[in-house]
Structure 1
Amino acid sequence: MDSMDAHIAEKPGYELAQVNISRLRFPLDSPELKDFVDGLDPVNAVADAADGFVWRLQADSGNATDVAVFGDAWLIVNMSVWRDADALTTFMYAGRHRELMARRREWFAKVEESMTALWWVPAGDRPSVGDAEKRLLHLREHGPTERAFTLRTRFPAPAATEAAGEAATN
């Protein structure tokens, strides 16, 4: 077994990465965002326990509201990795997350460009904010492709034998 085969054997398959950025309408510490901020820990706890959840970006605060994205202080980022799109959508459209999503227009500005992107990562890899920014920019420029796509226009995970090559090109 050569080193490439060993790499594939250690990290078989792919997991689904997602990024979602939002433009705040008010500062995070404002009264207008109190319900949103108060809901973060409970929603994150549900995500962490969800079937198919793998990982989420977080700072020392336990969430990612203070992680910079695109150099814009009014943008907040949510990034996570899931087993697959079904696990992600099951979490997104149920329970506490759905309750918060129903109020998103109160807290976040409407933006015309893509603010959410999905892509496959080799199992065990954790994307950076820089990776997420590149995927969002790719989606905005090219529309959904295998490199960056949406829940509405999905692409299947690459074959497991492609894992080593994909990791080398990211």
Structure 2
Amino acid sequence: MPHIALYTFGVLKSPLADPAPLTREFHDSSEAVYRTISQHPGYLARAEAADGDRGTHFDLDWGAWGEFAVPAWYGKGHTVETIALAATLSLWTDVRPAFDAIYTGLHRAALNRRHDWFERTGHPGYVCWWVSDGVIPTWQDGVSRLEHLHDHGPAPHAFTFHHSFAPEGTPTRIEGIGPKSGQVR
């Protein structure tokens, strides 16, 4: 049975190493948000560095999730002092559980503060796509799909919760998500 891969990417207003209160707030809340999401029904796995948090995203060993990659529009640093991004890559049983985990609880509270922490880039902040059972998506897969979504809009290859597709590629609407039938956005 196929699973949903979900890649999120945001450019922070200041580097993660910045000691400013807003940066610390974002960083300090992350562990609780990840813990809550990992307990959500439908959650399967997320990319975690094999060697913990020693280094930047770019020099960590991500195992089967592949080498860390970022979209072409990320123009900030790659060093411990300058890195200013937040990215996740996860697997879910279906679109609905992923949506519910993202838009409820602690993660919803964090989303309400996103403009405090993240730059408005004009690019999508996440992308979904279907993967076959047993397939682990890579960071590069997520980047490619996010860039495709930006360049071409939602399609079976790369879509959003609001404009989703079934595993066989047909457009789908999940109750409570996306435009009502007949509505155009």
Q: Is the 8 A contact 1:53 1:87 kept in 2?
A: yes
| Matched residue, 1:162 | none
**CA positional deviation for 1:70:** 3.3
What is the aligned residue count? 145
Q: Is the 8 A contact 2:4 2:129 kept in 1?
A: yes
Matching of residue 66 in structure 1 with residue 57 in structure 2: yes
Matches within 5 A, 1:11-160: 13-30=1-18, 31=20, 32-59=22-49, 60-61=51-52, 66-67=57-58, 68=68, 69-70=70-71, 72=74, 73=77, 74-158=84-168
**CA positional deviation for 1:158:** 2.5
Gaps of 5+ in 2: 59-67, 78-83, 170-185
Deviation readout 1:47-68 (Å, 9 max, x if unpaired): 1111000111122336xx7254
**CA positional deviation for 1:101:** 1.1
Q: Is the 8 A contact 1:14 1:158 kept in 2?
A: no
Deviation readout 1:46-105 (Å, 9 max, x if unpaired): 11111000111122336xx72542374333311111111110111112111111111111
Q: What TM-score, normalized to structure 1? A: 0.78
- Structure 1 distance, partners of 2:28, 2:167, is 35
Please provide the CA RMSD for this pair.
1.8
- Structure 1 distance, partners of 2:85, 2:30, is 16
Q: Which amino acid aligns with 1:82?
A: W
- Structure 2 distance, partners of 1:29, 1:50, is 30
Gaps of 5+ in 1: 1-12, 160-170
Q: Is the 8 A contact 2:16 2:85 kept in 1?
A: no
